Structure 1
């Protein structure tokens, strides 16, 4: 269910679906409250999944927060105001820093799942240029053009377009990616490609930083799932998190790229996440 929330005189949109133990899912880049990855399966497994649109995505203004720590404090207060005293935090990709900050020194956090998640700032070519205020409108337009192109190709050539989508965030060769994708993967990528789109939140994502101390003070159970073939969020992010949160469990995904919900180990990875969440909600 799509809802509009308000907390501390700030409005934002979110999804709240299902019944049972609560999962607060922090989505990744160029997504919003409509996040597709794993959500329906978690709801079917008996969880209540809450997905707020992060700053700059959906109807959530970019000004909502300036950093992962500030956004985490916002979510923590909002959840507390709603009377939620126990919940799992599930951070995806660029939602990772906020998820980590929210789990840090938070008695309400039952557990933390980090799926192909950032743990510190990503270094991009020309990053200092990309964050300039005057360039935000042109960059947003470029995003819109690219996503329009992707959506068009998905409709006309869904199989090949799916391979190209994965290739953009993979270290593997195109032929290897093609051999690893199933029809179910292609259907998922088709749905993701049609749902995702441009957002000003990219500026938030590429500038977010997280202090080492924030990771070191995460005491709840942690599960990290990451693929070595990930180009978008390099595998080193998972290793960095594991070093600073030594009690964290780790699963190496066999995903052909950034997205752990596709590829030969996708359903295994999802079941392991579900099992981890269930065990730590007891």
Structure 2
């Protein structure tokens, strides 16, 4: 028996009919050349990291800004703080895009937050799952009454072969993972969150169209997240705001307090027990339970 013609892995792994392979041809037809930012789209069967592959391709000059790289399987995917990200083949959406933003680089810190808004918006509409944002770049769904991480975003600055500055934006979403397949008990998936749609093709199309729309608004506003509506949308969908948090800061320090706002640079504003305001631009955030949470 030969592999299906649109199985980029060429491995003929058709045993799980709930996880059909993506068709690069169909995706290109739907997404390339429609007045959007996407200039090329490739689907690879298995790779270590789509971000690493696209960074290397950008530096080598073999792809142009607007390139999209999708993997059926990532074996060495990375999240923030170099954390691993892995899942069974064809069980999720694993993609990276190469962008050459027009706004000044000091505003590029909004890109992972923008991607979060775009992804959450797309999944809420296309999969019928309420998707919340955990600052700065986690995607949360509710599974059996608990917040679970179902996806994440990673932005890496790089440069093209001609030395121009660029950004590779990676997005990973768990789609059909069952409970037994989760990498950690606190993870989730769209299926476990009772998604109405788990077909990756329409979900991927919706995600890339949503990303194109929000990226276009931000570019048109010269990176002003407020004028583009990105800041307001992120605040509206952010599960971190309005609750007590612990921020693990670079260098090992910890800051505890209430997450109260998102400033104009996309930083999380935390007010500590002494009423002091701290704007956090980088760190690992832990949502703390309140007494009300503990009492049910």
Please, what TM-score do these two structures have when normalized by structure 2? 0.29
User: Which structure shows the bigger proportion of residues in strand conformation?
Assistant: 2
Q: Which structure: larger Rg? A: 2
User: Which structure shows the bigger proportion of residues in helix conformation?
Assistant: 1
